[in-house]
Every structure is written in structure tokens, then in C-alpha cells.
Amino acid sequence: MLLTSTIMGTSVSAAESDEILIPQIIELKGGKDTNNMFLDRDVYGQLYPYSYYFYKDNAKECYIRLYNALYSMQSEVDISDLSVSYDTIIEIINDLHFDVPDFYYLDMNNVLCDATSYAITKITVAEKVYFGYLFTREEVKEYSKYMRGIARIVKNNCPVDISDYSKIVYINDFLCSNIEYNWLSYYASQEYRDNGFVSEDLKVYLTDLQSEIDASILGAFVKKTCVCSGYSDAFVYLCRYFDIMSAKVSLSAIDSTNNFGHSEACVYCDNIWMYVDVTNNDTDDDLNFTHKYIGSYIDTEKYTIDTEYRTPKISTLKNNWWYRGKNVFYLKEESVSEEKVFSVLDYIIQKSKDNKYYQLTLYCKNTEIQEYFMNCFNSDSDYWLSILVKYGITNIEAESIDSTTIEIKFRC
């Protein structure tokens, strides 16, 4: 039976061909020149699988052949004519599963490879690869149509005339608003790690099928609950629809007895690669998601980059989203009146709304100004209410971050 779900109450059309649509792997031109990065502009006809560009000659051809076989859900693929080693084949399969979120249906525990060993060269050459799948072809067609429909809705609802960075923020916000972290899956893994067994009510979360769902776009878009790998896969998947290069990042826990590994994404924007950790941007409250982990640093006390997978060289940003969005305001007055506070609120909300940012930072001159500002913000002043009506604000919150800093979030 198919899993069912809705995203933001929007119905998703499945009016597509019954054929499984295969995005074309794109060749890069011009190095890091983003103007020439995408050759095929079709909405799901382009793919940037990061590890693909590290392979050469027959190995690259093998990557494409296995890629096409997985998209077509073939049960076996003959690669004997390519003379690619067994170790390379295993590496390619791992990379495909890591690179391409669409392969949520591949059963990594049911992949086999025939190979022949040659005594003289001491090389084991792969002959044929066999794939097993977690779902039927018909189920995959329905799931994939549904998720492509979601991606089209996200793209169509995104403001057109905004920067790639703003699109990244938009994708982050959509995912945080529509996905909840699967804590039951986390607790099951934690219990097994600590005790070597799990309670009956959590056992289902450690099955191969459930684990794959929770760590994939299927969990993110259909169940609307997943773990970190699902968040990062969903982010990479949506970035493709915006012509934005993105790749998954795997992190290993330095202290595996107390921490699990983690998965983030990285994205190519403004001629640099930077991290995006959608999982930690999400919170229990759909309104209170953050952008703190867009362009953030890896916590090197907890994690190290997993060298099993290729990862772009990240140019970590010195400043975070607040500065990047130029959505920072300074209240320099030594003292303020109620009228001044509300005129400032009117101004910064207008500027933020015009720039399509709905989260901003306000720096006050001193603690007294900050406290006075917060008191005005929480009042029932007619002027304040008129501002909310003026800009069509449905939700707004302010939080004191430190003695002089206020963060404001609002929705229209």
C-alpha cells in the first residue's frame, strides 16, 4: 500500500507520463562559471552528482550506465565490456546512492556483483551488477510523481526576482515548515547503541525498510518526518529545480559512544561552497525555524568530515544569514519614546518585507533601550496593531538574544 500525505494542504497533480523520467547528468563547462553550469534547463532534466566528475573514462561510463539502470529500476546490468574493477563498482554504487536523492528505493542490502579475478594482473573485474528494490515499480512511479509535483509547487511559489541565496533560504524555510524530525527513529538508534537492544514499540524503526524511509526524500516529502539524512536529501533534491548546485555531506561523530553521525548539505552560491544544515535550522515550532545554520561552521568538537564520500571544499562564511541578507538594523539612539519604537518597527518590517526576508536582527544601543523596545513590542498599542494590519502580518515574534540584540520573525 502506498504511503499518503499532503504538503501545506496543496494537492499535487500526477498528470505525467507513466515513464520514469530520467534527469540527464550534466557535463560542466567553464570550471566554476555558474552561468555555463547547466546545459539542460528542463525542470527535472538536470542533475549535478558531485562524485561523478571525479571518475574518468570507463569508470565514468559505468557511473552513467548504472545511473540509468537504477532510474529504470533494472534488476541487472551487464558491464563486462567496460573492464572496471570490482572495488570501483562498489565505490560507484555507494556514490550513486549518496549523490542522487531519487534513489530512495534502492535496497543497499540487496546489491550483488559478479566479478572475475585475474591472477596475472591481480585485478578483479566486475562483470554484472544485480539490484534489489524496496518498492515496486508502480509504487516508485506514484511516489516520484508526487514528489516532483511538490518540487514544482515549491518552485512556482518562490518569488522570481530574488538571488540564489534567497532561494536557498526559501527552500530551507519550506522544508522546516513541512517536515518534523523523527525522534522515534533517533531514540530507537540511541537505545540500540546504549543497550544492544530496543523495546518492542521502537523495533520497527530499525528495520531496513523503515530506516531507509526515515533517511530519504520519501520520509521528508511523503511521511513529512525524517532524520538528518532525509532533510539533506530533500534540500539537494529541491535545489536541482532552482538550477542551484548542491551536494550531501556526511559527518562522522568524533565520540561515537555519545554522539551519532550527522548529515548536512552544501550548496554552491556566490562562487563558493557553503554548508546548509536544515535539520538544525528546524525546530518543534513551524514558525520558529532559523537560518543560523545556513553558511555555518562544522562543529569540529563533535564531527569530522566522512572521507568515505567526496565533499566539495567548503568556504566557510565569516558572517551568517543575518548579514548575508543585509537584514540587520541598528537603533543608535541613547533613549527612545514609544512613538520612536513603533516608527522603527514600521520601517524595518517594511524594508524586510520589500526584500522578501521575514527574519531580521535589531541591535540596540544599550540594555535599557532593548527592554523598552520589548515592552512596546508586547503591548496592545493601537499604533502597533495598525502596523500589523498594514503589512498583513499573521504571526510575529521577538526574542532577546543578548543584552542589546533582538531577533524578530514574522509571517505575512
* 5 φ/ψ angles, rounded to the nearest 5 degrees: -170, 170
Q: Is the pLDDT of residue 306 over 90?
A: no
Do 197 and 333 lie in one domain? The reply is no
Count how many domains the chain has.
Answer: 3
Per-residue pLDDT band at 25 (split at 50, 70, 90): low
CATH number of the domain to which 204 belongs: 3.10.620
**For residues 275 and 295, is the Cβ–Cβ distance under 8 A?**
yes
Please report whether residue 6 resides in a domain.
Answer: no
Per-residue pLDDT band at 302 (split at 50, 70, 90): confident
**Looking at per-residue confidence, does 96 or 17 come out higher?**
96
Do 157 and 107 lie in one domain? The reply is no
Q: How much is the average pLDDT of 395-401?
A: 81
Do 258 and 189 lie in one domain? The reply is yes
Q: Is the pLDDT of residue 13 over 50?
A: no
Please report whether residue 365 resides in a domain.
Answer: yes
Do 187 and 307 lie in one domain? The reply is yes
CATH number of the domain to which 400 belongs: 3.30.1370.110
Q: pTM for the whole thing?
A: 0.69
What is the predicted pLDDT for the residue at 92? 93
Do 117 and 202 lie in one domain? The reply is no
Which of 323, 344, 371 is the endpoint of a domain?
323
What tens digit of pLDDT does each residue of 337-364 get? Answer: 888 888 888 888 887 777 666 677 888 8
Do 164 and 286 lie in one domain? The reply is yes
∠ CA 25-26-32, rounded to 5°: 140
Which of 117, 133, 149 is the endpoint of a domain?
133
* 8 φ/ψ angles, rounded to the nearest 5 degrees: 55, 30
Please report whether residue 10 resides in a domain.
Answer: no
pLDDT above 70 as % of the chain:
76
Do 158 and 269 lie in one domain? The reply is yes
Q: Which three cell numbers stand for residue 240?
A: 536541482
Distances from the Cα of 237 to the Cα of 47, 244, 261, angstroms? 9, 10, 21
Per-residue pLDDT band at 121 (split at 50, 70, 90): low
Q: How much is the average pLDDT of 236-261?
A: 84
CATH number of the domain to which 33 belongs: 3.30.1370
Distances from the Cα of 262 to the Cα of 248, 317, 375, angstroms? 11, 20, 40
Do 202 and 110 lie in one domain? The reply is no
Lowest mean pLDDT, pick from 73-77, 283-287, 340-344, 361-365? 283-287
Length of the chain: 412
Tell me the pairing of strands 328-331 and 359-364.
parallel
How many H-runs (helices) and E-runs (strands) does the chain carry? Answer: 13, 15
**For residues 52 and 99, is the Cβ–Cβ distance under 8 A?**
yes
What is the predicted pLDDT for the residue at 285? 60
Which of 266, 296, 323 is the endpoint of a domain?
323
Task: Return d(Cα 156, Cα 238) in angstroms, integer.
Answer: 12
Per-residue pLDDT band at 7 (split at 50, 70, 90): very low
Please report whether residue 290 resides in a domain.
Answer: yes
Full residue range of the structural domain in which residue 107 is found:
24-133
Please report whether residue 45 resides in a domain.
Answer: yes
Per-residue pLDDT band at 265 (split at 50, 70, 90): very high
Please report whether residue 95 resides in a domain.
Answer: yes
Please report whether residue 268 resides in a domain.
Answer: yes
Do 338 and 287 lie in one domain? The reply is no
Per-residue pLDDT band at 185 (split at 50, 70, 90): confident
Across all residues in the chain, what is the average pLDDT? 77
Do 108 and 220 lie in one domain? The reply is no
What tens digit of pLDDT does each residue of 363-389 get? Answer: 887 888 888 888 888 888 888 888 888
Please report whether residue 219 resides in a domain.
Answer: yes
Identity of the residue numbered 10: T
Lowest mean pLDDT, pick from 56-60, 78-82, 258-262? 258-262
Do 251 and 211 lie in one domain? The reply is yes
Q: Which three cell numbers stand for residue 234?
A: 530533500
Do 196 and 336 lie in one domain? The reply is no
* 389 φ/ψ angles, rounded to the nearest 5 degrees: -70, -40
Q: How much is the average pLDDT of 162-183?
A: 89
What is the predicted pLDDT for the residue at 89? 92
Task: Return d(Cα 128, Cα 65) in angstroms, integer.
Answer: 12
